[in-house]
Amino acid sequence: MADGFCFGEGPRWFEGLLWFSDMLGEAVHTVTLRGALTTLPLPGHAPAGLGFRPDGSLLIVSTERREVLRYDGESVVPLVDLSGLVPADLGDMVVDPQGRAYIGSQAFSGGVIVRVDPDGSAEVVAEDLDFPNGMVITPGGDTLIVAESTGRRLTAFSIAADGSLSERRVFAEGLDGPPDGICLDQQGAVWAAMTLANAFERIEPGGTVTDRIEFDDRVAIACTLGGPNRRTLFMLTATSAYPQRLVGARLARLDATVVDVPGAGLP
């Protein structure tokens, strides 16, 4: 669908467009189903996770600055600085129906998830994670699933009415590769970008892989379900799993395919 950008992350389907971050390109892009690309420049920021609040405003994770930005359709402004709360740079994010944002701090061990509430307050809601990465929230808003990349597992938490996380449990472990970006379908399975396996896999609770899309020499980075009836799987790939090796390159790509089971939950 699109190429010529640096390193795509955090794809989200919203109001008929596929939105994604270009982490090395310091921008957020949108793509139509016909492949038309637009760009929101973010000079000085390395964006990653994206999420939309109920009012339609876009939240953007600035990884190295460890802050969250807000875009209202006209201007980008800082929302909250998380540098005093987190042990490492920020990564992916999911926003719940109440507008609360859950953001991972990607320490290889001792990673955390921070919740940012609509009023801008923030607190750590999960600890001791192995590089928390992609996240989804199930329909009804009662469960959060996070990809622990270096742990090669998907981990689930129950979400309480106040937004706190509890009842930590394994959704799937012993995965084929480190999971990066993820999305959820209506049968409760997770599509995951398996970075070092160069593939996107559909994983059922317990770990059974039902579908696999291989990319040979391209690294799977992130995915989301959107498009008509949420049956289009959008897949971001790169030529390396390590962004620092790709500075100055424009070899990232966005592909899409239609799948059998529609998307569900958030994002």
- Residue 3's closest CA among 257, 253, 255? 253
Query: How far is the C-alpha of 28 from the C-alpha of 47, rounded, in Å?
Result: 7
Query: How far is the C-alpha of 156 from the C-alpha of 189, rounded, in Å?
Result: 12
Q: What is the pLDDT of residue 173?
A: 98
For 16-64, the pLDDT digits (tens) are 999 999 999 999 999 999 999 999 999 999 999 999 999 999 999 999 9
Query: How far is the C-alpha of 105 from the C-alpha of 82, rounded, in Å?
Result: 10
For 102-111, the pLDDT digits (tens) are 999 999 999 9
Tally Cβ neighbours within 10 Å of residue 242: 10
Three-state secondary structure call for residue 193: strand
Long-range contacts of 197-200 (CB under 8 A, 24+ apart): 200/233, 200/235
- Tell me whether residue 9 is annotated as binding: yes
Q: What is the pLDDT of residue 180?
A: 97
Tally Cβ neighbours within 10 Å of residue 244: 8
From the centroid of its chain, how far is CA 218? 19
Q: What is the pLDDT of residue 250?
A: 87
Q: What is the pLDDT of residue 171?
A: 98
- Domain positions in the chain are 2-258
**Cβ-proximal residues to 141 (8 Å cutoff; 6+ apart), any chain:** 96, 97, 98, 159, 266
Tally Cβ neighbours within 10 Å of residue 84: 7
Q: Which amino acid is at 186?
A: Q
Q: What six digits make up the tokens of 104?
A: 């991972």
Q: What is the pLDDT of residue 211?
A: 98
- Residue 50's closest CA among 85, 8, 81, 86? 8
Query: pTM for the full model?
Result: 0.97
Which of 162, 180, 211, 217 is an active site residue? 180
- Tell me whether residue 216 is annotated as binding: no
How would you write the pLDDT of the chain (267 residues) with one tens digit per residue? 999 999 999 999 999 999 999 999 999 999 999 999 999 999 999 999 999 999 999 999 999 999 999 999 999 999 999 999 999 999 999 999 999 999 999 999 999 999 999 999 999 999 999 999 999 999 999 999 999 999 999 999 999 999 999 999 999 999 999 999 999 999 999 999 999 999 999 999 999 999 999 999 999 999 999 999 999 999 999 998 877 778 778 889 999 999 999 999 999
Q: What six digits make up the tokens of 217?
A: 């020499």
Residue 55 known to be catalytic: no
Q: What is the pLDDT of residue 243?
A: 78
Domain 2-258: which topology? Neuraminidase (2.120.10)
